[in-house]
Amino acid sequence: MKIAVFVKQVPDSAAKLSVDNGAVNWGDAPLVINPWDEYAVEAALQLAEKHNGEVAAISMGGEDAKEALKHALAMGAGSAMLISDAALANADAAAAAKVFAAAVQKLGGVDLAIFGKQAIDSDTGLAPAMTARVLGWPALTMLAAIPALDAGAKTIKVERAIEEGRQVVEGKLPAVLSIVKDYAEPRYPSFMGIRKASKAEIPVWSLADLGISAPESKVRWTEISAPPAREVTSEMVTGANADEIAAKLADLIIAEGVL
């Protein structure tokens, strides 16, 4: 079974954001692999281990994005490739989806294309469904579990984490999946994996290598502004014992209309 897992290099979640001259500024926050993508890599590795598959990690971005790919390699991915092209500098989710789909086609024979549920920088969560649309594959998103997968029969049964609970869905392969936190705690990179990753030469694919022209981005950022700072007040709830504190807290929650 061949699995493509998509990862993105993003500013650390502890980054302090500001808007400077109409552009988002992440400050000097270190770049890390998108935390949601670590769950996607974990899912890809578990599926590959169970079904004797291979995992290829793919990222789109500049040289920095190689770090995310190396993280995936160190976790256990078998190969990695970077899609980098100056024409993709301001690609929106729809444009990125066309590029991701082309990468899946270039890899060839892919049964599963796996994403994290969203990237913590743009937070749109659109890439999985849009990539599925371009490929013409089923999109099975927000997966908390994959209770059954038959690589031979090309069928899959998944559990989606939705607001109301878990939704069980059956589908056919090839498919695009997105993974949520409940799936499994991502493994740490292994030391042997770190050595392999640090020595890895990661191939770079341009749009020409993918055989596509620069896809048009539909989204225009006409203005970017920081949300107004919220006024927050805090109140300590005290009492003689836990029961009394809980009762006071419950009264406050009801009074504030939270419940």
Partner 1 sequence: MDFQLSEEHLMVQKMVRDFVQKEVKPVIQEWDRKQEMAPFILPRMAELGILGINIPVRYGGQGFDYITLGLVCEELEAGDSPLRVVMSVHMGLNSMALLQWGTEEQKQKFLTPQATGEKYACFGLTEPGAGSDVAGMKATARREGDEYVLNGEKMWISLASKAHHALIVARTNPDADPHDGLSAFIVELDRKGITTGDIHGKLGMRAGSTGYIAMQDVRVPVENRLGEEGEGFKIAMSCLDNGRYTVAAGATGLIRASLDASVKYSHERKAFNKEIGQFQLVQQKIAYMVQQYETSRLLYLKAGWLKNQGVRNTRETSLAKWYATDASFDAASEAIQVHGAYGYSDEYDVERYLRNSKGGVIYEGTSEIHQLMQAGYALGYRKDADLRCELPAYDAEYWQAEG
Residue 115's region, left for phi above 0, alpha for psi from -120 to 50, else beta, is beta
Instruction: Output the smallest distance, CB 191 to partner 1, in A.
Output: 4
- Binding-site ranges for partner 1 (CB under 8 A): 70-71, 74, 188-192, 194-195, 197-198
Per-residue 3-state assignment (H helix, E strand, C coil) for 22-68: CEEECCCCCEEECHHHHHHHHHHHHHHHHCCCEEEEEEECCCCHHHH
- Cβ density class 78-89: b for 16+ within 10 Å, e for less: bbbbbbbbeebe
Of 191 and 227, CB closest to partner 1: 191
Q: Any residues with CB less than 8 A from the CB of 168 and at least 6 apart, and which?
A: 147, 157, 158, 159, 160
Minimum CB–partner distance for residue 184 and partner 1 (Å)? 14
Closer by beta carbon to partner 1, 166 or else 195: 195
If the CB atoms of residues 2 and 71 are measured against partner 1, the closer one turns out to be 71
Phi–psi pair at 32, nearest 5 degrees: -135, 165
Site of tokens 């939705």: 162
User: What is the closest distance, in whole angstroms, from the C-beta atom of residue 76 to partner 1 in the complex?
Assistant: 13
Nearer to partner 1, 55 or 197 (CB): 197
Least CB distance from residue 190 to partner 1, whole Å?
A: 7
Tokens of 235: 């109140």
Say how far apart CA 168 and CA 12 lie, in whole Å. Answer: 33
Cβ of residue 67: shortest distance to partner 1, in angstroms? 9
For partner 1, which is the closer residue by CB, 191 or 256? 191
